[in-house]
Structure 1
Amino acid sequence: MPSRTREQLDLLLRTVVSDVIGTEPDELHGATSLVDDFGVDSLELMEIGSRLETALGLCVPVGDLTAADTLGEAVDLLETRLAEPR
């Protein structure tokens, strides 16, 4: 699988999140907190994680997503996961 830039990961994450929570991708930014700003619950996080796993071909545990306080931290997580040997 070709590597993705941080910008591509950011766009993918914002697109997936917006699809799940019913908002527009441009309403989301690096400092957005899904829990604090949008009230995202664990089921929505599971759906987001599942969609990211499908799109990226890697495991994204819900615990990792809940540990990321902001979308920027979630992009950091995805970058790290993609850099790990499989």
Structure 2
Amino acid sequence: MNELIEELKTKLIELLNLSSLTPEQFDAKAQLVGGELGIDSIDVLEMVVMVDRDYGVLINSQEVGEKVFASVASLAAYIESNRAGGAT
């Protein structure tokens, strides 16, 4: 799971243009949406698409999305428990 967390940190930094942040500075348990990163609804949509495209995991409701995107750690846990085949 730590490998997935590190992979997600790198992907999110690229996807969301968080160029001032390195994966080492990205706290996996910090609040992702609505936190200090300034992630908005468009960013959330981009993350939903990336999770579906890269991991084959759907986030199909706002309720699920709120829980899943609480932190990088919660996102990794959701992907781990919902992806088919186990590996990307």
Using the size of structure 2 for normalisation, the TM-score is 0.70
1:29 and 1:62 map into 2 onto residues whose CA distance is: 25
In the superposition, relative to structure 1, how do residues 25 and 77 fare at CA in structure 2: closer, same or farther (>3 Å)?
A: same
User: Runs ≥4 in structure 1, deviation > 4 angstroms?
Assistant: none
2:3 and 2:48 map into 1 onto residues whose CA distance is: 17
2:28 and 2:12 map into 1 onto residues whose CA distance is: 12
How far apart are residue 82 of structure 1 and its match? 1.7
Q: Is the helix fraction higher in 1 or 2? A: 1
Aligned to 2:82: 81
Aligned to 1:66: 66
2:84 and 2:54 map into 1 onto residues whose CA distance is: 16
2:54 and 2:9 map into 1 onto residues whose CA distance is: 13
How far apart are residue 43 of structure 1 and its match? 0.9
How far apart are residue 31 of structure 1 and its match? 1.3
2:11 and 2:26 map into 1 onto residues whose CA distance is: 11
CA contact (8 A) 1:65 1:74 kept: no
2:25 and 2:2 map into 1 onto residues whose CA distance is: 16
Q: SS in structure 2 opposite 1:61? A: coil
Structure 2: runs of 5+ lacking an equivalent: none
Using the size of structure 1 for normalisation, the TM-score is 0.71
Alignment RMSD:
2.2
How far apart are residue 12 of structure 1 and its match? 2.5
How far apart are residue 7 of structure 1 and its match? 2.3
CA contact (8 A) 2:28 2:72 kept: yes
How far apart are residue 83 of structure 1 and its match? 5.9
CA contact (8 A) 1:15 1:25 kept: yes
How far apart are residue 52 of structure 1 and its match? 1.9
